[in-house]
Structure 1
């Protein structure tokens, strides 16, 4: 069997047995394809089972010379390691060539965040006189209040909003469930949207339970959420390059700046490892001197 056959088998494994999202699967496959392309370019004429640690070292040197950042190199290596773990799992190989391969040394890249003032400016720039504006206000309030991924936001179901206790039931990566608190303001705008705007939509079949819908009564797409945020940033003249994930970064940072426990934030974000959460601890020392009365500005 050739590379493409094994790559397709790995893709099916990620989808059926690991239950990964489409985006995660595509990221893994792109990493393996890069290795395949290197093998073809180098005329190595080896199958995945014949790859050695020497081949992998040469590959890593190659992508480094291409100018890939250490973070990108580390991500590519992570995908390749997952591929060979699968081959081991399926007993197609008896020795993992990635076992002794070390990734590049990484410095922590600080994610872009918005100040609370910037969050307010964006929210207040929304035109509340339109149905879409009411929806957008509720959507961004929820995004910032609960630190959701954009995929979790657009997949949010009405039946997973527990207004009485102030929690959302979120289905995250790998179909893992978690309960996330929703702030008072976010819940207020969400109720306005669902009770006064959403009920007037002609909802498409199969989309009845999704919270956030477009004009055609279908659930919003990732691209639409990105576009809404980009347009708001342009409207207020914001120079930062922001996205839905910026709200998630800001949610985590503001909580930690407010003194919230890392493990509590880890739980709300749905992170597997606490080291993933520690990237948000880039605290301004002057800011720490201030008296912080609440963990989250809009709680």
Structure 2
């Protein structure tokens, strides 16, 4: 049975036994026929080297890693079918590695844009009238604490009020895996938090809550969605495109700005609450830029 007939048999099995959709079958057909054409119609007889050569060729053509992975997946399933049906004595894809997908760099903000956002929050908190003070002072405390600590948004909005009554210099946060970590507060964050606690105490219903940022929600605290929406509105008032900001972007800004200014990657890992240093290594581009700048500025032979 030639490769074309075996591809047809594979597609028939995918349709009849697995109920694959028409678009899925068309995609498999395209990918398998493309691979077979590259191998002079002998895909069904290919060895690992032939398949690697094909994968190298599509990588050289500029196919994205996701497209390369999809094509390899189709080939893998094809050979598993041949092996299961006794049409091949081996599976040549067993030793092949999937194309490595580049992790996208995290979205972040410049120090100048972050400063504008915090300044706007401080201004609105200071100038708010009686009907606006609660929301404005809460937002000021939220953004100052988020930028000072790099907390996950779920950690931030769900903080118990007790964290703010122990020692105002630090928050002890319970994060993923129920692990505790200590994060320091900046001077501005401490002031914003003090003002918020005073405002919170003026409202009996809020003062009774066990949460630092209480709300009349099912959880009892401010929801991530409400904070995200209000943060975008604050950004717009500060002249920052709302599409470019979210609580997660501020967390990334915290980490990036620390590294840009000399912090150690391990220290940032601990502050972010990453259990594995490999998660924090998405920021290595910041370290590379810092080291390049260091060499260019201080090496005696630099231009």
Which TM-score applies when normalising by structure 1?
0.60
2:191 to 188, 192, 214: 188
Structure 1 unaligned segments of length 5 or more: list them.
1-40, 47-57, 78-98, 292-299
Change (3 A) 1:120 1:203: same
Q: Per the alignment, in what secondary structure is the counterpart of residue 148 of structure 2?
A: helix
Structure 2 residue runs of 5 or longer lacking an equivalent are 1-13, 32-62, 74-93, 298-303
- Give the whole-Å Cα distance in 2 for the aligned partners of 1:219 and 1:243: 19
Q: Flag the structure with higher helix content.
A: 2
Whole-angstrom CA distance in 2 between matches of 1:192 and 1:101? 59
Instruction: Supply the distance in 2 between the matched residues of 1:271 and 1:144 (Cα, whole angstroms).
Output: 17
- Give CA deviations for 1:17-51 in whole Å, capped at 9, x if unaligned: xxxxxxxxxxxxxxxxxxxxxxxx855359xxxxx
Aligned to 2:222: 220
- 1:253 is aligned to 2:226: no
Alignment size in residue pairs: 211
Shift of 1:173: 1.5
CA distance in 1, matches of 2:271, 2:293: 22
Displacement, 1:100? 7.6
Aligned to 2:202: 200
Counterparts of 1:173 and 1:100, CA distance in 2: 35
Q: In 2, distance between residues paired with 1:189 and 1:247?
A: 17
Using the size of structure 2 for normalisation, the TM-score is 0.59
Shift of 1:263: 0.8
Task: Report the alpha carbon displacement of residue 281 of structure 1 after superposing the two structures with TM.
Answer: 2.6
Root mean square deviation of aligned Cα: 3.8
Q: Look up the SS of the partner of 1:156 in the other structure.
A: coil
Partner SS state of residue 210, structure 2: coil
Say if 2:214 is the partner of 1:210: no
Q: CA separation of 1:162/1:287 partners in 2, compared to 1, >3 Å: closer, same or farther?
A: farther
SS class of match (1:107): coil
Could you tell me how far 1:243 is from its partner in structure 2?
Answer: 0.5
Aligned structure 1 segments of 4 or more residues deviating by more than 6 angstroms: none
What is residue 268 of structure 2 aligned with on the other side? 265
Q: Can you list the C-alpha shifts for 1:217-259, whole angstroms capped at 9, x where unaligned?
A: 9410010111011111222332352110011100001111111
The answer on 1:123 being equivalent to 2:126 is no
* CA drift at 1:68: 10
Contact 1:163 1:187 in 2 (8 A): no
Contact 1:203 1:218 in 2 (8 A): no
- Counterpart of 1:44? 17
